[in-house]
Structure 1
Amino acid sequence: MHRLGLCCLVLLGLAPLAVAWRPWPPSSAGGAAAGIGVSNKFEGSSEFVKLQYHMGPVLAADITVHPIWYGRWPADQKRTIRAFIRSLSPSGSEGGGGGIPSPSVAAWWRTVRLYTDQTSANVSAVVKLGQEKSDARMSRGAKLSRLDIQSVVRDAVTARTRPLPVDSGGVYLVLTSPEVVVDNFCGQVCGFHYFTFPSVVGYTLPYAWVGNSAQRCPEVCAYPFAIPSYVAGRKPETPPNGDVGVDGMVSVIAHELAELASNPLANAWYAGEDPSFPTEIADLCEGIYGTGGGGAYTGQLLTDRRSGAPYNVNGVGGRKFLVQWVWNPILSYCSGPNALDQ
């Protein structure tokens, strides 16, 4: 979900642009958990969701994701996130499994691909890892406003040495390390997406921000690898790549990329009448990772035999990830490649 602010930069300073996902409120946790297993369609219903197309574009051209590493990022954390991005389209072509076991990240992306624009063009099957930029010195400081995130993108595409390319299929992914504070991070948002203002960056570019919550609020932004105190009797799950903050980020990154692809300019696919407060295809499925999911329950997951970690999709290099589902416009409920009724 993001808030529309085209020329009204005041809006940008007052409200979150997009909520990657927020945990259920304390009052609903017990009731939701009690309903586990009642129905394998617990994921949602078209009777309550009015997702609509508002005639804007989707990202139908090949998508190139350009990570911008803001803050100090160890090499192993970068490798995990790069692996996830590469897993979205491992062969770079339509069919793309790349020999990865089912259920795969690429199969998860096929649900996002169901969204089309007014020319009947689908979201692209090709998602590539592009060029990267690092700002370990945090040139904009360790505390960033929402507008500062756009300035970080501008710095990356206008850098004197090795600037990121400005291309038609480019998506710019600002990733902040644990020591970086972003407005409303943890309190209201885990990530957001929007598009840059030409007055700030010089171009209109789709971008997203996702923060590493490991030191601040893993129970908010890295669930179920950390558990809120109000969820009684629940132990944290083992992260599949051994890193609570980064494994939590992967699902938020997936959330934002799905929404960027289906609603890049805030005028394509979303529910609700007000484009300033849309509910997008990943918002509809926050916290749902498997059949029966909802409330305090992730849904039915797979388990890695070696580590005991839960996961729901396989990626390149033998990687495993836990990624939230997205809304399927054909089935009219949340869906993922690990669904038991496929």
Structure 2
Amino acid sequence: MRFSLKTSVVAVSTALVLSSFGAIQIAAADNSGQSNNIRENQYDENDTQHLNPLSKIVAMPIRNAAAGKAIIAGEISYTLNTPVLINPSIYVIWYGTWTNPCTATGSATPAIVNDLLKGIGGTNWYGINTRYYKQSTSGGVKTYVTPNVTWGGCTYDNMSLGNRLDSNTGKFTYNVVDKALTNSALTRDPNGLYFVFTSSDVTVSGFKSSFCGYHSALSPTYAASPKPLIAYSFVGDATGTSLGSCNGQGSTTSPNANPAADAMTSVVAHELVEAVSDPQINTWVDAGGNENADKCAWTFGTQSLAPNGSYYNVIASSRKYLIQQNWIPDVPGSCGTGITPPASAVTNTANVSFVKNVPATSVIPVVGAGGRGPYTYTISPTLPAGLFFNLGTGQITGTPTAGLAPTVETVTVKDSTNAVWDSSFSLTVTVPLAATTAVPTASLSFNAPITPVTPVTASGGTAPYRFTISPTLPAGLALSSTTGQITGTPTAVLASRVETITVTDSKNATATATFNLAIPTAATFTPTVAPASAVKKAMVTKSLTAFTPVTATGGNGANVFTISPTLPAGLSINATTGAITGTPRATLLVATNETVRITDRTGAFVTGVFSLQVSPAITATVAIANSTYARNVTLTFTPVTGGGSIFTPLAYSVSPALPSTMSLNTTTGLITGKAPTGTASRKTYTVTVSDAAAFSTSATFNLTIN
């Protein structure tokens, strides 16, 4: 049955319209006298919260509206790509005045209703619902509702929203569900079905006068967009003068000696099968808009007589219940009190655990039954490397070669008619705890800060890990108990010895590994100046051939070179190698002692001294660019003069060779002799000026003989 409600209505008068039996529309008039289609499950426009639930709810009509308890003929059909609850989990909110409703026993109303929901799965009555399925495309795979109904949880709400859930307060049954989800009083399960059961002192407009229960869906406040649609249902305690409106048999006798509770159970069952097959009010309906239980409302089929004179047709949780029939969606369809549940996929082993690199004990975690064979099995997600899934039997075998944190695996079983069921289990592949030597030998420097080292690493097991070491580290060193890293400055010498690190995981599993630790005494550190006692000569603008004036032997490595005083501009020392390179741009006219300091990783150092002198650039100046002489005349002239360099004496040379009758003074650059007597000639000569440090430069002149 479908109708709509609106929260802005203060006083609601209803007109009941019957179409055959199940399709009921409720019209209402608000204070303005206007007729409205009103939505029960929507907040008032002035409310600050908006759940945006469905505009329709589907209700079970009161008994007197059943038009003679008629079964509604006509086939029920499925709307493609709409949802059903394949493996429903049931969550219960007892709202109002109840005594320990979640743990009640005996003949208490909550105990009777809770036991129905806990035991209805697997019964032949609920087996009818396993004929309903979902399907994405025409001719595609059909995924059927399983025979399982899981008890998800229970909570008690002692009228936190007041004792009226109607338009007078602007609070409704879906607000009760939303509040429980927002406060995490129940698991937030997008695939769950949430029941609200109200006590007799809670007013819900229309209850017992127009309907006995209903179901719908809401978008919860807690969820971010896009919000899921959560299925929920309402059933009230029918105690009172109107009990007969929602009771399947007399008001003085019932299977559980509690007529009000037994009245609730038939309504609960009605809403359960409807919400499972049509959770969002758009899935399984007939041409008149009736859902499966609507078509059989207030009809009970074959019944048995209980010892107390009441009647029952279902046994669940060892209790007897009188529950209305459900629609079997065959062609033609019919109402029934039960069928043997069809094929299903049942979790045989809920938790499967293997060990990495250890052959797995074969297991079939999910088994298929019923239906029409043969079966095919698939699994998702894919199993870890080394494990194999038998598509014909669902058996897992092999040797896992990779670890896996607890993971939900879903096995889908399909029979030869393409009927599909699935069920899940948890798979874990544990990796044994291992301790691995990462640094076989740690040789540390005495009395010097060490570079942190992690000699042993942990893997596998269950983190976090705890590290301990034996024997105790030398003074100044410490081991991190959480990382296994060694830090500090050793202040004691240690000959090489074996250290054992033990790793313990959170499950108290242990593993060990060893490494060698040594802290030698500081090595002898000896400087060498090369070449000893020599002055290194350099010249401005002349690139200096790299040289290393001071070296050292011994020490503890990682040497660092520094120099004092600062080198002339253009020169630098390599801090790692001690090599001096560059092209000087400034002079150092007087040989100056430079001190090179070499410091090792422990802070020990040695020094060496060398002398450095930088001369101005050597020059060659043309004094006579062109000299002309007659043949056989005596001549004397200095065409090029040298200077600049402080590395004296200077020396001169000429190229090409002068005529045999002429000579160059290599000390002064003076040319003397006689002009040759041969034929007239004109030649260009190059005079090179060199200093005592082998720096040189040159200039040219022209000589003409007439």
Partners of 1:17 and 1:304 in 2: CA distance: 35
Give 2:172's aligned residue. 148
Which one-letter code corresponds to 2:327 in the other structure?
A: W
Query: What SS does structure 1 have at the residue aligned with 2:153?
Result: coil
- 1:17 positional shift: 2.3
Give the number of the structure whose alpha-carbon radius of gyration is greater.
2
Which one-letter code corresponds to 1:315 in the other structure?
A: A
Point out which structure has higher relative CO (alpha carbons under 8 A, 6+ apart).
1
Q: 1:71 aligns with which of 85, 92, 96?
A: 96
1:273-309 per-residue CA deviation (whole Å, 9 max, x = no partner) reads: 6xxxx2110000011111xxxxxxxxx410113x222
- For structure 2, list consecutive stretches of 5 or more residues without a partner in the other structure: 9-35, 42-54, 136-140, 341-706
Give 1:224's aligned residue. 249
Which one-letter code corresponds to 2:126 in the other structure?
A: W
Give 1:158's aligned residue. 182
Partners of 1:181 and 1:107 in 2: CA distance: 35
1:167 and 2:210 equivalent?
no
Query: What SS does structure 1 have at the residue aligned with 2:63?
Result: coil
Which one-letter code corresponds to 1:2 in the other structure?
A: R
Give 1:337's aligned residue. 338
Give 1:303's aligned residue. 305
Which one-letter code corresponds to 2:85 in the other structure?
A: L
Instruction: Tell me: CA distance 1:22–1:244, structure 2 relative to 1, closer, same or farther (3 Å).
Output: same
Which one-letter code corresponds to 2:239 in the other structure?
A: A
Give 2:229's aligned residue. 204
Query: What SS does structure 1 have at the residue aligned with 2:267?
Result: helix
Give 1:232's aligned residue. none
Query: What SS does structure 1 have at the residue aligned with 2:280?
Result: coil
Give 2:455's aligned residue. none
Maintained 8 Å contact 2:128/2:339:
no
1:235-282 per-residue CA deviation (whole Å, 9 max, x = no partner) reads: x6x211111111000000000010001101111101136xxxx21100
Maintained 8 Å contact 2:132/2:277:
yes
- 1:224 positional shift: 1.4
Which one-letter code corresponds to 1:140 in the other structure?
A: L
- Pick which of 111-120 and 69-78 moved more: 69-78
1:130 and 2:170 equivalent?
no
Partners of 1:150 and 1:221 in 2: CA distance: 21
Instruction: Tell me: CA distance 1:208–1:250, structure 2 relative to 1, closer, same or farther (3 Å).
Output: same
Query: What SS does structure 2 have at the residue aligned with 1:130?
Result: strand
Give 1:281's aligned residue. 292
Instruction: Tell me: CA distance 1:338–1:64, structure 2 relative to 1, closer, same or farther (3 Å).
Output: closer
Give 2:134's aligned residue. 117
Partners of 2:220 and 2:190 in 1: CA distance: 15
- 1:199 positional shift: 6.0
- 1:225 positional shift: 2.7
Identity %: 28
Give 2:263's aligned residue. 248
Maintained 8 Å contact 2:4/2:37:
no
Partners of 1:124 and 1:264 in 2: CA distance: 15
- 1:49 positional shift: 1.2
Maintained 8 Å contact 1:186/1:216:
no
1:110-151 per-residue CA deviation (whole Å, 9 max, x = no partner) reads: 001101111411123221111111112x01111102861111
Which one-letter code corresponds to 1:215 in the other structure?
A: G
Query: What SS does structure 2 have at the residue aligned with 1:78?
Result: helix
- 1:198 positional shift: 4.2
Partners of 1:16 and 1:166 in 2: CA distance: 22
Bigger helix fraction: 1
Maintained 8 Å contact 2:75/2:333:
no
Query: What SS does structure 2 have at the residue aligned with 1:255?
Result: helix
Bigger strand fraction: 2
1:182 and 2:204 equivalent?
yes
Give 1:233's aligned residue. none
Instruction: Tell me: CA distance 1:182–1:325, structure 2 relative to 1, closer, same or farther (3 Å).
Output: same
Partners of 2:208 and 2:328 in 1: CA distance: 28
Maintained 8 Å contact 2:40/2:172:
no
Which one-letter code corresponds to 2:173 in the other structure?
A: I
Partners of 1:112 and 1:3 in 2: CA distance: 24
Residues matched between the structures, number: 279
Maintained 8 Å contact 2:113/2:261:
yes
Partners of 2:237 and 2:56 in 1: CA distance: 17
What TM-score, normalized to structure 1?
A: 0.74
Partners of 1:338 and 1:308 in 2: CA distance: 26
Partners of 1:262 and 1:25 in 2: CA distance: 23
Give 1:21's aligned residue. 61
- For structure 1, list consecutive stretches of 5 or more residues without a partner in the other structure: 33-42, 90-95, 97-105, 227-235, 291-299
- 1:63 positional shift: 1.3
- 1:24 positional shift: 3.8
Instruction: Tell me: CA distance 1:133–1:203, structure 2 relative to 1, closer, same or farther (3 Å).
Output: farther
